[in-house]
Amino acid sequence: MKLKSKILAAGVAVALMSTAAIAGYKQPAPVDVDLVNRTALGDMVSAQQAKDEVTYIGCGIRKIQTGAGVASTGFCQARDADEEQFTCFTQDPELLAATATTGDFSFITFAWNEDGECTYIGVSTQSFYLTEKMVK
């Protein structure tokens, strides 16, 4: 009986180890908005799976034909679990291009100036932002 328990425990341990090996390295980045330093960061998966109904993060772009040409406005927005939030905007071509690189499972970080204009947009899409649940 004792031997059986040991075998069972060993089997469970091996099973857990193999699951971890399949899932790979994980590094979730919960959304955090820092209004003092005017920065926000977080990954899309952590935001979507947050245990609240307020957290989000993302970037986007709107292209509008005005009759005199196309006006493009990019934006990034985030709200964390503490309900600190910010939305920055940009019309800078380079930053507009950065907003277009966000993927479904991206880590996003952005910063803004006192006028609310985005001064920095970082996007990184890595396997370790995917959750174990999504990999299975």
Partner 1 sequence: MNWLIPLSATQTVLLAALGLKVVAIDMRTDDIAEAVKAQPTQVQTQADPAALSWDNARSASLSGDEMRKIIREEVAALETPARAASAPAQPVKPQHTPQQVKTAVTAVDREINYFRSRGAIDEVEMAGLQAKIAKLPLAERRAALTSLTKAMSKGEIDGWM
Give the interface with partner 1 as residue ranges (CB under 8 A). Answer: 60, 62, 64, 66-69, 71, 73, 75, 77, 83, 85-89, 91, 115-117
Residue 103 CB, shortest distance to partner 1, in Å, is: 19
Dist CA 89 CA 95 (whole Å): 9
Nearest approach in angstroms of CB 123 to partner 1 is 17
Q: What is the DSSP letter of 101?
A: T
Interatomic CA distance for residues 109 and 38, integer angstroms: 11
CA 55 to chain centre: 11
Which is it for the CA torsion 127, 130, 132, 136, positive or negative? negative
Nearer to partner 1, 24 or 116 (CB): 116
What single letter denotes the amino acid at residue 64?
I
Which of 34/132 has CB closer to partner 1?
Answer: 34
Q: How far is the CB of 40 from partner 1 (least distance, A)?
A: 10
Q: Which is nearer to partner 1, 16 or 71 (CB)?
A: 71
